[in-house]
């Protein structure tokens, strides 16, 4: 039977809204589905990649985690006055989603979807109860694709660690091996530690598993922290073991044995091994727990009553906060549906095939270099140019490379800071510097200046990102301006420019840098024809 306070709350609403909370929730879900559709599409696309293939399971697991937590909080009778914090969160989610839609960066829309879910729970249950449901909401982060810059930096780091450890394990097995960047040279063949073997395929699902593991674990807080953090070293360790096993198989039986089904099966074996190690770690931690319990007792796996908790969603009543939230989403959706469709603005430019063969005293040596198919695929550029220039006054040549993207919203430029170590080059020194005054430029001119080395070979590198007339050194800043330009003008184009020259044993670093400065001055005049600023 309804309490008098519940009847009082319901009587504040017109009769046709009585018991209509479910209807309003459904309207909210439909409006949110339309508004955040670009983000949902980005998720569906990302989930097709091996490293994010666990994504569809995350909302299911988060939902189960939410229902388990809901059992701990009984219904709150009477009017719920603290719902409006949730409306504020929903407003923030819509604002964030709007930025993503205007800039054509669908990942931002996907991130805002999680913020909206948090706001929905606060509106439905009020702050006093809803604030306790942050664990299942935060868990949804594991279904999101990483921002491109972070993804490639993480991949490179994991590749490097996995390669080093994998080679160490191979040497323990008396396998003759040499590591060149991420290329494992076994003598008879070379095994490349590609992106798919970097560990991300295991890292994301294991991080998700360890998160739920830590939430359900009844031990001390520091135990939970250890279980959560341990997912990273466990994944790196087991991925290194996987690389070592693959290297051992290739060395003894050939490359074909690690391809196809055996490669897939090997991956699942390593994944299950990671989970078992996590359980073993939890069992070890229980030794230090003040209250002695078994591992089964330490994990709160009670699933009774989840169906009953799901039926509680029918008890959500219409409220001013809920209807306002629906209105916000419907209004935002209507505005975007009324706007003309925005797409990446395609600027007019010349193809790099017409790039000058002469720059001052510098002459192109040989033909334009064509990238390997695999490298070109990873680069993903719409147009690129790689040539070598020589000058009678220069002691060594300069390699000129640039890659152009009409639309960077779904990926874009890969920083040399990421790809160079994978090719076996070590970045010995790197700094971001402003050469605006040196170049006599009317706008800021920031570049990365680096020295890379492989064995005794050393090279000096200049590189920067060109975006709508800006020369940007920091890749995160480039992503920021990508979003700003997408909102302001619809342009999401951009390019990477890189100059490289060897540092001869008979010369100083300053002499090699002088060559780069010389050709850098010469390249500025023709470059806007191929990388438009307006």
Q: Higher pLDDT residue, 85 or 423?
A: 85
**Average pLDDT of the chain?**
84
User: What would the mean pLDDT of 244-267 be, rounded to a whole number?
Assistant: 71
Structure tokens at 130: 């809803």
**CB neighbour class for 288 (10 Å; exposed up to 12, middle 13-18, buried from 19):** exposed
Closest CA to 448 of 439, 437, 435, 438: 435
Give the CA dihedral 95, 100, 102, 106, nearest 10 degrees: -150
Beta carbons of 202 and 274 less than 8 angstroms apart: yes
Can you tell me the distance from the alpha carbon of 496 to that of 353, in angstroms, rounded to the nearest whole number?
17
pLDDT tens-place string over residues 184-221 = 777 767 766 654 455 667 788 888 989 998 888 888 88
Structure tokens at 34: 């339309």
pLDDT at 17: 42
Beta carbons of 134 and 114 less than 8 angstroms apart: no
| Global pTM value | 0.75
- Which residues contact residue 296 at a Cβ distance below 8 angstroms, ignoring those fewer than 6 apart? none
pLDDT band at 34 (very low <50, low <70, confident <90, very high): very high
pLDDT tens-place string over residues 128-156 = 989 999 999 999 999 988 877 777 777 77
For 389, the 3-state DSSP assignment is strand
One DSSP character per residue, 135-157 reads HHHHHGGGGSPPPHHHHHHHHHH
pLDDT at 397: 96
Structure tokens at 435: 């050469």
Instruction: Give the dihedral sign, CA 329/335/339/345.
Output: negative
161 φ, ψ to 5°? -65, -45
Beta carbons of 298 and 286 less than 8 angstroms apart: yes
User: What would the mean pLDDT of 53-77 be, rounded to a whole number?
Assistant: 86
CA 481, chain centre distance (Å): 18
Closest CA to 145 of 110, 121, 112: 110
At residue 449's C-alpha, the angle toward residues 509 and 146, to 5°, is 145
Q: How many CB atoms lie within 10 A of CB 345?
A: 15
One DSSP character per residue, 192-212 reads E--GGGSSHHHHHHHHHHHHH
33 φ, ψ to 5°? -60, -40
One DSSP character per residue, 283-348 reads HHHGGG-SS---HHHHB----TTHHHHHHGGGGPPP-HHHHHHHHHHHHHHHHHHHSPPP------
381 pLDDT above the threshold of 70: yes
Instruction: Give the dihedral sign, CA 398/459/418/432.
Output: negative
Cα separation values, 401 from 36, 57, 374, 496, 521, Å? 38, 42, 17, 8, 15
At residue 470's C-alpha, the angle toward residues 464 and 472, to 5°, is 35
228-245: buried (b, 16+ CB within 10 Å) or exposed (e) per residue? Answer: bebbbebbbbbbbbbbbb
Can you tell me the distance from the alpha carbon of 47 to that of 54, in angstroms, rounded to the nearest whole number?
7
pLDDT > 90: percent of the chain: 37
**CB neighbour class for 508 (10 Å; exposed up to 12, middle 13-18, buried from 19):** exposed
261 pLDDT above the threshold of 60: no
pLDDT at 10: 42
- DSSP-assigned letter for residue 272: H
Q: How many CB atoms lie within 10 A of CB 301?
A: 9
Can you tell me the distance from the alpha carbon of 102 to that of 385, in angstroms, rounded to the nearest whole number?
31
Q: Higher pLDDT residue, 180 or 497?
A: 497
β-strand pairing of 494-502 with 398-405: antiparallel
| Lowest-confidence pick of 236-240, 306-310, 335-339, 401-405 | 306-310
């Amino acid at each position: 039977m309804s309490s008098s306070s519940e009847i009082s709350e319901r009587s504040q609403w017109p009769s046709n809204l009585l018991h209509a909370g479910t209807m309003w929730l459904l309207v909210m879900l439909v409006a949110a589905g339309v508004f955040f559709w670009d983000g949902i599409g980005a998720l569906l696309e990302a989930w097709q990649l091996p490293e994010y293939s666990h994504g569809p399971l995350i909302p299911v697991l988060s939902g189960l985690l939410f229902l388990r937590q809901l059992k701990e909080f009984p219904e709150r009778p009477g009017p719920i006055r603290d719902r409006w914090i949730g409306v504020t969160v929903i407003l923030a989610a819509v604002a964030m989603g709007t930025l993503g839609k205007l800039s054509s960066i669908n990942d931002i829309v996907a991130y805002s979807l999680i913020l909206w879910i948090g706001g929905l729970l606060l509106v439905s249950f009020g702050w006093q109860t809803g604030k306790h449901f942050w664990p299942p909401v935060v868990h949804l982060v594991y279904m999101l694709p990483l921002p491109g810059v972070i993804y490639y930096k993480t991949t490179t780091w994991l590749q490097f660690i996995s390669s080093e450890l994998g080679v160490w394990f191979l040497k323990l097995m008396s396998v003759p091996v040499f590591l060149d960047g991420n290329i494992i040279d076994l003598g008879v063949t070379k095994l490349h530690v590609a992106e798919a073997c970097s560990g991300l395929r295991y890292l994301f699902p294991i991080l998700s598993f360890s998160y739920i593991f830590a939430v359900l674990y009844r031990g001390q807080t520091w135990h939970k922290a250890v279980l959560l953090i341990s997912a990273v070293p466990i994944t790196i360790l087991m991925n290194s073991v996987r690389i070592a096993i693959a290297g051992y198989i290739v060395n003894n039986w050939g490359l074909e044995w690690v391809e196809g089904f055996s490669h897939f099966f090997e991956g699942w074996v390593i994944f299950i091994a990671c989970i078992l190690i996590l359980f073993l770690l939890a069992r070890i931690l229980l030794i230090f727990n003040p209250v002695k319990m078994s591992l089964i007792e330490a994990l709160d796996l009670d699933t009774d009553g989840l169906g009953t908790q799901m039926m509680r969603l029918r008890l959500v009543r219409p409220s001013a906060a809920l209807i306002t939230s629906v209105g916000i989403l419907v209004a935002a959706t209507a505005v975007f549906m009324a706007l003309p469709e925005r797409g990446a603005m395609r600027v007019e430019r010349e193809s790099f095939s017409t790039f000058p063969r002469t720059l001052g005293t510098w002459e192109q040596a040989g033909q334009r270099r064509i990238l390997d198919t695999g490298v070109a695929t990873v680069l993903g550029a719409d147009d690129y140019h790689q040539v070598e220039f020589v000058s009678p006054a220069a002691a060594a040549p300069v390699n000129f490379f640039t890659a152009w993207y009409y639309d960077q919203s779904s990926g874009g430029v890969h920083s040399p800071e990421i790809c160079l170590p994978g090719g076996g080059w070590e970045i010995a020194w790197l700094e971001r510097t402003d050469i605006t005054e040196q170049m006599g430029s009317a706008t800021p001119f920031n570049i990365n200046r680096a020295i890379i080395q492989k064995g005794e070979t050393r090279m000096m590198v200049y590189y920067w990102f060109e975006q709508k007339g800006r020369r940007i050194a920091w890749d995160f800043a480039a992503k920021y301006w990508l979003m700003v330009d997408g909102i302001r003008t619809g342009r999401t184009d951009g390019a990477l420019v890189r100059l490289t020259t060897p540092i001869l044993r008979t010369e100083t670093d300053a002499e090699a840098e002088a060559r780069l400065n010389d050709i850098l001055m010469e390249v500025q005049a023709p470059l806007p024809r191929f990388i438009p600023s307006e």
